[in-house]
Amino acid sequence: MRHSAKASTCLSLAVLIGTTLSGMTWAQPIARATATPASPKPATTTLPSAPSAADQQMSARQSMEESIARQKAAIQTQLGNAPADGFFVTGWLSAPPTLSVAADCTPANPGETDAAIKDAADAEHLNPALISAVVRQESDYDPCAVSAKGAMGLMQLMPETAAQFSVDDPFDVRENIAAGARYLKQLLGRYKGDLRLALAAYNAGPKKVDGDPPAEPDITETQDYVDRIVKALDGASAETDAAIR
């Protein structure tokens, strides 16, 4: 009986252990934590910081001053080598106006300017001496000249005038003279061949001349301008086809 009880106790214990063991959740092998490598960050290119507005202005001004210095030297050489008895290259009729020099502009030689004046005069049926006198008075034959008001080149075209005649480069000798000659011809037609009115409008603008009737404006600079150019023509006609209008 004692053995039977002991056996029964052992059996009960075995059953208990078996039940416990069968109900246990066996621990799974601990997985070794493997760190997932982080995606590499795209390489960051460090761009140089943009120059400040002040730095840009200083750089642009320095470049312009260097260019102007080179152009002035070239222009002085050009004018110094100009023939004194050239038909189109003569001295100033008066003291030249205050002009600056455009950057990145190539000075012209007298022969190039003379040829451009002749071609423009032929195209517009104008006296070449008229175009020559206007060029002298406007810029003293400096294709790089820029006035304080923004007029540009040999015949000092204002930006709106250059745009009106589709000028791509107002400092190009041929483009500038061709446009200036067309403008002069247009003004002569507007004022029915009256040279003084046409010249006054070229200098001061048509709005200062238009009226009923049109008249030269009471502007000393404009009146002197007209007088000097008319005097240079010495009575010659402004147009080669003046009789056909």
CA 178 to chain centre: 21
CA-CA distance, 238 to 163, in Å (whole number)? 25
| pLDDT surpassing 70 at residue 209 | yes
Answer yes or no: is 41 within a domain.
no
Say what the pLDDT of residue 147 is.
Answer: 94
Answer yes or no: is 16 within a domain.
no
Say what the pLDDT of residue 105 is.
Answer: 85
Say what the pLDDT of residue 233 is.
Answer: 96
| pLDDT surpassing 50 at residue 74 | no
Higher-pLDDT residue of 157, 75? 157
Answer yes or no: is 75 within a domain.
yes
CA-CA distance, 109 to 78, in Å (whole number)? 6
Answer yes or no: is 46 within a domain.
no
Closest to 99 in 3D by CA, of 147, 155, 140: 147
| pLDDT surpassing 90 at residue 174 | yes
Residues in CB range of 222: below 8 A, 6 or more apart: 200, 203, 204, 208, 216
Least confident of 33-42, 50-59, 70-79, 105-114: 70-79
Mean of the per-residue pLDDT values of the chain: 75
CA-CA distance, 123 to 178, in Å (whole number)? 8
Between the alpha carbon of residue 118 and those of residues 115, 131, 159, the distances in Å are 5, 9, 24
Answer yes or no: is 19 within a domain.
no
Say what the pLDDT of residue 63 is.
Answer: 54
Higher-pLDDT residue of 94, 235? 235
Confidence at 31, pLDDT banded by 50, 70, 90: very low
The DSSP letter of residue 101 is E
Say what the pLDDT of residue 49 is.
Answer: 64
- How much is the pTM? 0.60
Number of domains in the chain: 1
Query: What is the CATH classification number for the domain harbouring 190?
Result: 1.10.530.10
CA-CA distance, 203 to 199, in Å (whole number)? 6
Answer yes or no: is 59 within a domain.
no
Say what the pLDDT of residue 226 is.
Answer: 98
Answer yes or no: is 96 within a domain.
yes
Answer yes or no: is 188 within a domain.
yes
| pLDDT surpassing 90 at residue 125 | yes
Least confident of 32-36, 134-138, 194-198: 32-36
The answer to whether 138 is a known catalytic residue is yes
Domain housing 131: 64-233
Confidence at 51, pLDDT banded by 50, 70, 90: low
Catalytic residue among 138, 175, 216, 239: 138
